[in-house]
Amino acid sequence: MSELTESARCLIIGSGPGGYTAAIYAARADLKPLIYQGMQPGGQLTITTEVDNFPGYPKGITGPEMMEQFKEQAERFGTQVRSGVVTAVDFSKRPFIVTADDGKTIAAETVIIATGASAKWLGMESEKKFMGMGVSGCATCDGFFYRGQDVVIVGGGDTAAEEATYLAKLCKKVYMVHRRGELRASKAMQHKVLNTPNIEMVWNNAPEEVLGDDNGVTGVRVRNVKTGESRDLQAMGLFVAIGHKPNTEIFASQVDLDEMNYVITKPGTTQTSVEGVFACGDVQDHHYRQAITAAGTGCMAAIEAERYLGS
Ligand code: NDP
């Protein structure tokens, strides 16, 4: 390990709504937080377009703009924001030791894990091209923009099923594309999906290409994995709901994770299995996954860190 170069009362790893809200509260509590922004500064919201469901923005705001404002607000109270990725942590000793890819090693009295969860994507070039222009990873966030239109959702798990039924309330028609002939979702969710008249199941199909023009998505070309036949589904939006991956690799042997590798927190708190280490936002939440809930738990984490330091 490199030589210890600095110390911090509160070190925050990750810069989505959870991390920045923790920073705002920690800075105002005089903890002089240091935040490492991580792989995707600003987090998942920086890959969306309009955010219309965050209270306080009656006219909406773009995800990247909103995250810039979170950052400004955190800095206004003295948060030190660093671009860089934390590569290793050692929570077995106190202060905790955190190493980053900028060559710094920090001795931290408290750590707030806010590294989020990344949506899994299909991996097509055209999916990347139309990201934020019709391709989305969150129906709750973006479904509203497709009111009265036809959309495609890909996936067969509980998330896809839940999002398909949500979209069906807003959209004219929802094509649910699944690579097998049977859903993975719970029986109750399957029942709901299969009994919603404007959801059309497209079984045994995998997206091949996202079709579109300068204005965004116009459809999705899918291929039947059994017959090899292709078909174009006309739609203005493609929702990818094939799962999320919590960004917890570096914490695997340091704090308790659940069977899906999300950080386990004590119910009603952000306390992890290590005292003084807290977790907020999507890295500990595979249920709500909203900016506002991440911000809420970020606030909790900072208050709990302050109390821990004062105790
Ligand atoms: P899952 O891993 O359960 O499901 C992912 C789905 O995407 C599967 O149907 C899978 O297909 C499909 N898939 C994966 N990769 C690809 C790919 N490359 N191309 C096409 N399809 C793909 O993820 P979820 O996000 O749905 O759920 C995660 C966990 O959260 C689950 O345990 C779920 O039960 C839980 N959850 C619970 C909810 C609730 O209780 N209300 C709501 C949402 C989630 P295949 O089936 O063939 O593997």
> Per the residue annotation, which of 30, 101, 138, 280 is the catalytic one?
138
Q: Tell me what pLDDT residue 91 has.
A: 98
Ligand 1: nearest atom to the Cα of 242: 7
3-state secondary structure the chain: CCCCCEEEEEEEECCCHHHHHHHHHHHHCCCCCEEECCCCCCHHHHHCCEECCCCCCCCCEEHHHHHHHHHHHHHHCCCEEECCCEEEEECCCCCEEEEECCCCEEEEEEEEECCCEEECCCCCHHHHHCECCCEECCHHHHHHHHCCCEEEEECCCHHHHHHHHHHHHHCCEEEEECCCCCCCCCHHHHHHHHCCCCEEEECCEEEEEEEEECCEEEEEEEEECCCCCEEEEECCEEEECCCEEECCHHHCCCCCECCCCCECCCCCCCECCCCCEEECHHHHCCCCCCHHHHHHHHHHHHHHHHHHHHC
- Residue 224 CA to ligand 1 center (angstroms) comes to 20
Taking residues 245-264, report their average pLDDT.
Answer: 97
Q: Are residues 233 and 146 in the same domain?
A: yes
* Residues 102, 50 within the same domain: yes
For the record, the structure tokens of 143 come out as: 């479904």
Same domain, 126 and 207: yes
Do 233 and 253 lie in one domain? The reply is no
Whether residues 191 and 278 share a domain: the answer is no
- Burial readout 117-150 (b: 16 or more C-beta within 10 A, e: otherwise): bbbeebebebbeebbbbbbbbbbebbbebbeeeb
What is the pLDDT at residue 237? Answer: 97
Average pLDDT of the residues in 154-175: 95
Residue 280 catalytic? no
Structural domain count, the chain:
2
Considering the domain architecture, whether residues 253 and 182 belong to the same structural domain is answered as no
Q: Which of 240, 260, 294 is the last residue of a domain?
A: 240
- Can you tell me the mean pLDDT for 4-21? 95
Please say if the pLDDT value at position 281 is more than 90.
yes
Tell me the mean pLDDT in the region 183-188. 94
Residue closest by Cα to atom 36 of ligand 1:
158
Q: What is the rounded average pLDDT for all residues in the chain? A: 95
- Residue 50: pLDDT above 90? no
Which pLDDT score is estimated for 106? 97
Asked which of 212, 240, 268 is the last residue of a domain, the reply is: 240
Q: Which residues line ligand 1 (CB under 6 A)?
A: 122, 154-160, 162, 179-180, 184, 206, 242-244, 286
Using the 3D structure, point to which of 222, 240, 258 is the last residue of a domain. Answer: 240
* Ligand 1 atom 21: residue of nearest CA: 155
Ligand 1: distance of its center to the CA of 288 in Å?
15
Higher pLDDT, residue 31 or 44: 31
Atom of ligand 1 nearest to the CA of 160: 26
pLDDT in tens, 203-238: 999 999 999 999 999 999 999 999 999 999 999 999
Q: Which atom from ligand 1 is nearest to the alpha carbon of 120?
A: 15
- The alpha carbon of 148 and the centre of ligand 1 are apart by a number of angstroms equal to 26
How does residue 44 score in pLDDT terms, banded at 50, 70 and 90? Answer: confident
Q: What are phi and psi of 82, to 5 degrees?
A: -120, 135
- 76: CB partners within 8 A, 6+ apart: none
pLDDT of residue 280: 98
| 49-59 mean pLDDT | 88
Same domain, 92 and 162: no
Residue range 90-114: mean pLDDT, rounded: 97
* pLDDT range class, residue 4, cuts 50, 70, 90: low
Residue 5 in this model has a pLDDT that exceeds 90: no
- Which domain, by its residues, includes 75? 5-118+244-310
Ligand 1: which of 179, 182, 222, 225 to mutate, judged by most atoms within 8 Å of the beta carbon? 179
Q: Does 135 lie in the same domain as 85? A: no
| CATH number of residue 186's parent domain | 3.50.50.60
Q: Is 142 a catalytic residue?
A: yes
Specify the pLDDT at position 140.
84
Task: Assess whether 162 and 131 both reside in one domain.
Answer: yes
pLDDT at 248 over 80: yes
Non-local (6+) Cβ contacts of 20 within 8 A are: 35, 67, 70, 71, 73, 74, 295, 298
Ligand 1 centroid – CA 274 distance (Å): 30
Q: What is the pLDDT of residues 124-147, one digit of tens each?
A: 999 999 998 999 998 988 999 999
Q: Residues 87, 233: one domain?
A: no
Cα 185 to middle of ligand 1, angstroms? 7
pLDDT at 145: 93
User: In terms of domains, do 25 and 94 share one?
Assistant: yes
- Position 277 pLDDT exceeds 90: yes
| For range 295-303, the mean pLDDT | 98
**Mean pLDDT score, 175-195:** 96
Does 277 lie in the same domain as 190?
A: no
pTM of the model: 0.81
Q: Do 47 and 63 contact (CB within 8 A), yes or no?
A: yes
The tokens describing 184, both together, are: 């993975």
